Copies of this chain bind each other. A is one copy, B any other.
């Protein structure tokens, strides 16, 4: 009997579920709206039930915060989310009740980072950081070929920022005000310009220099702490192509050649798998969960 692998990329607006064969070729893939657990998960269960007899593992990459600490009593839970119904939801536990298979469990961004490492922009490498810059900023990290899970998971979007000297915007993070996310995510970019939508801000507007400065500063700290082989940007804001040369230039200015990195054009790069990064990562992690 052939073996099948399952994947769930659980996002705040939709859950993408997929089933793939032993070569990780996707057989079926569905998108399910994220509403409340009773509804959304019923559809998830129904999707995988069709494949129940052949399914050997499921990789789950979930929106967070989630509990990834295996020593914790709430391992496998979505924890402190404001999303109605999902707070303290035992995601992994509910899956295990229905499907007696091997599991991988990590954050949405770790899943995407792993997908990009194995099949995307960081193919052939052992380490990468994946940063998604959109309505928020999230980061996934792979080091020595494994996603980072320590006491909990990275929350790179909230690192402390040195202010750009020309930036007067107060920041919009409800926790830290002017952390990375508070200064460089989509809502911050728009609020700084008095509500002008990001795609309406001229590409040569100084606003982008400021955004690039913060994203570059994040790259500097990530480089000094993790020394990854690639830093990969995804998410809506990263579709502003003009940002990439600006981020690289600002990175060089801030780093002052202190440590060696790959050539910057090859180091600070675009996501390659796009919307497939997460599902790809989940399937790979599912397969590895069986092999372990």
A binding-site residues for B, Cβ under 8 Å = 65, 79, 126-127, 139, 141, 143-144, 146, 148-156, 158-163, 175-176, 217, 220-222, 224-229, 254, 256-262
Considering the chains assembled together, what is the distance between the CA atoms of A260 and B69 in angstroms?
11
Complex contact B227–A149 (CB within 8 A) = yes
Considering the chains assembled together, what is the distance between the CA atoms of A224 and B151 in angstroms?
11
Considering the chains assembled together, what is the distance between the CA atoms of A148 and B260 in angstroms?
16
Which residues on the B side are within 8 Å of A146 (C-beta)?
Answer: 143-144
Nearest B residue to A148, CB-CB: B143
Contact of A227 among B79, B126, B154, B158 (CB under 8 A): B154
Q: A49: shortest Cβ distance to chain B, in Å?
A: 34
Q: A54: shortest Cβ distance to chain B, in Å?
A: 31
Q: A71: shortest Cβ distance to chain B, in Å?
A: 9
Considering the chains assembled together, what is the distance between the CA atoms of A26 and B163 in angstroms?
50
Q: A218: shortest Cβ distance to chain B, in Å?
A: 9
Can you offer 30 A-B residue contacts whose CB atoms are under 8 A? A127-B151, A141-B226, A143-B150, A144-B144, A144-B146, A144-B149, A148-B227, A150-B226, A150-B228, A150-B229, A151-B228, A151-B261, A151-B262, A152-B227, A152-B260, A154-B226, A155-B224, A155-B259, A156-B225, A158-B259, A159-B221, A159-B225, A160-B162, A160-B221, A161-B162, A162-B162, A176-B254, A221-B221, A221-B225, A226-B226
